């Protein structure tokens, strides 16, 4: 994540993909798994809000090494969180 703006765009894009896939699964699955898919959507929104807050407030702005570690951790949490949410969607849709 080179810039804060790009980081926010990546977070928004990936979380929106999770939400759109959840709605698509909700459309095809019907009312059978509605509550579980709504819970996945809520988790995705919480992940988005948490990561955007972390991007806006790095740990220590003056130390470049700590800032890089902070953004690296944010990126790893983004990838792991989105992967976990996609996994939940796939288990719900089996």
User: Domain tally for the chain?
Assistant: 1
Range of the domain at 28: 4-92
Report the alpha-carbon angle 28-32-37, nearest 5. 70
**Whole-number Å distance between alpha carbons of 49 and 34:** 23
- What pTM did the predictor assign? 0.88
**Whole-number Å distance between alpha carbons of 14 and 24:** 15
Q: What is the pLDDT tens value at each position of the chain, 94 positions in all?
A: 568 899 999 999 999 999 999 999 888 887 778 889 999 999 999 999 999 999 998 878 888 888 889 999 999 999 999 999 999 999 988 8
């Amino acid at each position: 994540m080179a810039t804060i703006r790009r980081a926010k765009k990546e977070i928004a894009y990936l979380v929106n993909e999770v939400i759109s896939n959840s709605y698509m699964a909700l459309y095809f699955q019907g009312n059978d798994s509605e509550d579980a898919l709504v819970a996945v959507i809520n988790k995705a929104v919480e992940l988005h809000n948490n990561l955007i807050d972390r991007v806006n407030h790095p740990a220590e702005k003056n130390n470049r090494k700590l800032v890089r570690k902070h953004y690296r951790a944010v990126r790893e949490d983004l990838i792991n969180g989105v992967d976990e949410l996609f996994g939940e969607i796939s288990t719900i849709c089996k």
